[in-house]
Amino acid sequence: MIPDVHDGVRDEAFDATQALRATGLRVTSQRIAVLEALAGRPHAAVDELHAAVSEQIPGIALQTVHGIVNDLTDAGIAQRVSLPGAPSALYELGRNDNHHHLQCVVCGKVEDVPCVVGAAPCLHPSHDHGMRVLEASVTFRAICPECERNGNG
C-alpha cells in the first residue's frame, strides 16, 4: 500500500514490507530502510536518504541507495521529481495522482499541490504533435513564509 501524504505528513498505516511485496520487489533491510526514509521525507534527494539510512545501516554505500531508489522508481513505489534550480533530482512516494509542486525559490522547500483539475493529465498542450499525453508536470515557484519573514524575498 502506498501511503497518502498530505502537507509533508505521511499516513502512519504505511507498511514498507507490504509495498515492496505488492510490486514484486524482494524485501531487504536496505530497501525497507530507504523506503521508510522516503516515506518520512517527501521530496528528498538521494544523498539525504543516504544520510538517514546510514543512521540505521552504518556503512551503506551511496551507490546502493541510488540503486534502491531506481528500483523503487521502476516499480512505481517512488517517483522522481525534477524541479528547476534543484541541484539534484528529488524523490517522493508514488501516488499516481498527477499532483504538482510548489517550490520556494529561496530555500528550495517543496510542497505538494493537488492537480489543477483532478484527472491525469490535468493540463493539455495546445498542440500534442500526435502524441498521447500521459501526465502534465507543473512547478509553481514561490517564496515560503519563513524566507519572506527573514527578508529573503
Q: Kindly state the average pLDDT of the residues 58-71.
A: 97
pLDDT tens digits for 2-59? 344 434 444 456 799 999 999 999 999 999 999 999 999 989 999 999 999 999 999 9
Domains, in order of start, for the chain: 5-81 (1.10.10.10), 97-149 (3.30.1490.190)
- Please indicate if the annotation marks 115 as binding a ligand: no
| Cell numbers representing residue 131 in the block | 502524441
Does this model's pTM top 0.75? My answer is yes
pLDDT tens digits for 77-131? 999 998 887 888 999 998 777 788 888 988 888 898 887 666 666 677 778 888 8
**3-class DSSP string for 120-132:** CCCCCCCCCCCCC
